[in-house]
Amino acid sequence: MKEELNRMKELVNILNEASKYYYQYSSPIMTDYEYDKLYDELVELENKTKIVLEDSPTIHVENEVSDKLQKVEHPSPMLSLSKTKSIDDLVNFIKDKEGLLSWKLDGLTIVLTYNKGKLVSGVTRGNGIIGEVVTENVKQFKNIPLTIDYKGKLVVRGEAIIKYSDFNKMNDDIENEGNVQYKNPRNLCSGSVRQLDSSITAKRNVNIIIFALIECEDEIPNSKKLQYEWLDKLGFETVQRILVNKDNMKDVVLEYKEKVKTYDIPSDGLVLTFDDTEYGKSLGITAKYPKHSIAFKWKDETVETILLSVDWMASRTGLINPVAVFKPVEIEGTIVSRASLHNISIMEKLKLGIGDVIEVFKANMIIPQVANNITKSNNLNIPKLCPKCNHETVIEENNKIKYLYCKNEFCPAKLIKRLTLFTSRNAMNIEGISEQILSNFINDGFLNSYSDIYHLNDYKNQIINKEGFGEKSYQNMIDSIENSREVKISNFIYSLGIPEIGLSRAKLICSSCNNDINKIKNITFEELSSIVGVGEIIAREWINAFSNKEFLDEFNRLLQEIKFIDNNISNLKLKDITFVITGSIEHFNNRDELIEYIENFGGKVVNSISSKVNYLINNDISSNSTKNIRAKELNIKIISEEDFLKMVE
């Protein structure tokens, strides 16, 4: 018994550590296959010894609470479900009752609260007891109904997800030249929803699929199936489900198993719940799980193959990630030959070597991963030079996980992304020069820096003769480049890609320096830190950039190519007044237009509420949104757009 108890303690520590890195840092320290294997071992030992340790992951949901977002306690703990990989267990669970079998969605669980027909709250599951308030981000979901035709209080639970099609498109858009892609939709979704800036959520195509009705003021049908149908009519997208009993259970599970191979929504299994909701509630809960539902996880199909090589993929951030290349094998109906190894720590743990016999599988039957290394020759060399620029690499530890980096700020892998930002609409606004074109020009030696863009006419003959180009397209590109020589100073500063300096912060800094480029160039750390919306961390990034000789040389070269145009601020009646904007916009086409309007009168717009903010603009003044609550705490006046326009007029 002592030996078993010691092993249980060891497993609890290992699994909790792995969960922390996976859910809080989006940085796995072990494969999904290894985690499930250790988890199953722990469950087996708990069943055998009848002992469950207080911090066992079998009775606690994953710890997914950030230090940054506002916290709120759930009215009752949100328990996880008991799990099985056996269809027979599903049959034994349902017995002679009817149930609903639905997808077990692999995203981020969100609790939505509606009152008087309006969405008033969005809270993450967190650790099951404490969640994070993400209401403003939830409002950016692609399929979220902000208002519904039900005036009572309604609480529903759903899964925020990013579809595989959107996930793959985002990876294609950012990774044309071997840069590191997002690892999986689940981690990307979690990071997208738990942002302090809701505009990031808006760009990520997050959807929410409702899987439970939690609270309703009116009497609701005693049927899970009918509850779903009612939620459908209110405008929610509910989880796909099929009515099952013990007789058709196996056929339906096998039907789902085929569907998951082409299903566009991430799923890591199925959920079986009783259709009779009152009966389900009457069963109560155990110390670990509610008894009304059970989760079914797919059995991982592992296949042996040979490791042929490891590709090292350099990214725009300098991170170099290892990707296993193995002899092609068929898994779950498709041929696979590559799988991400995530980071140096996982690669070292697998003890990989070229020619090793490895086991591979598809996580959730979709994403290829290396499950195990049978040979363990451990002879794989970590490259000492960047595969893109041959600059020296370094291994750095972040949260105890090892990563490989290229420290060359002018690495071609980074240059592509920097130039993509430089030419974008809110930066230098150069049309007709896509990321793929930039990539080709870099490979051809036409571009080695920002300022080289203004000398592409030196390569006219080579460009015209390139596939997809001709005299007209070349001339359109050159005309756009020439037009970009006249630019607002804030757009220019944004185009430089200084970490943490988006367009809004660039405007704040430029405005504080009266749009004087010499003042901007020589602004001190203390002056930057005192600007509302900047602060010490961002100020440090700015100072580091302008202390970099290569950056400063390029900055000065660009000043020889461009001319700053007047920002046309003729009326400064909003000078020294700082605003935060939240909620929907009614009198302007979009939020950017309102921000520009404020800045044209000399005002400032920042993203977060602080004591330095003068007004919060929110058309729903009485809402209980996070920003409204914070503004009231700090005695910041909340005004509508109507109030704001009267102020300006």
Strands (E), 344-429: 357-363, 367-373, 393-398, 401-406
* DSSP H helical ranges for 24-85: 32-49
Pairing of strands 615-617, 578-581: parallel
Helix, strand, coil percent values for the chain (each to nearest 5): 35, 20, 40
Neighbours of 628 (CB within 10 A): 20
CB 591 within 8 A of CB 644: no
Residue 608's identity, in one-letter code, is S
Residue 545, token pair as written in the block: 């950039």
Q: In sequence order, which residues have a C-beta less than 8 Å from that of residue 555 and are 6 or more positions away?
A: 496, 521, 546
Note whether 201 and 184 are within 8 A (CB): no
Q: Annotated catalytic sites, by residue?
A: 104
Radius of gyration of the chain (CA): 28
In angstroms, the Cα distances linking 64 to 20, 23, 26, 208, 227 are 8, 6, 10, 18, 29
CB-CB contact of 438 with 416 (8 Å): yes
Cβ atoms of 73 and 629 within 8 Å: the answer is: no
Residue type, 370: V
Q: What is the Cα–Cα distance from 285 to 79, expressed in whole angstroms? A: 9
Asked whether 350 and 373 are in contact (CB, 8 A), the reply is: yes
147 DSSP 8-state letter: B
Taking the CB of residue 216, how many other CB atoms lie within 10 A of it?
17
DSSP 573: T
**Contact call for residues 120 and 135 (beta carbons, < 8 A):** yes
User: Which tokens is 423 given?
Assistant: 């030419």
- Up-side HSE of residue 414: CA atoms within 13 Å toward CB? 19
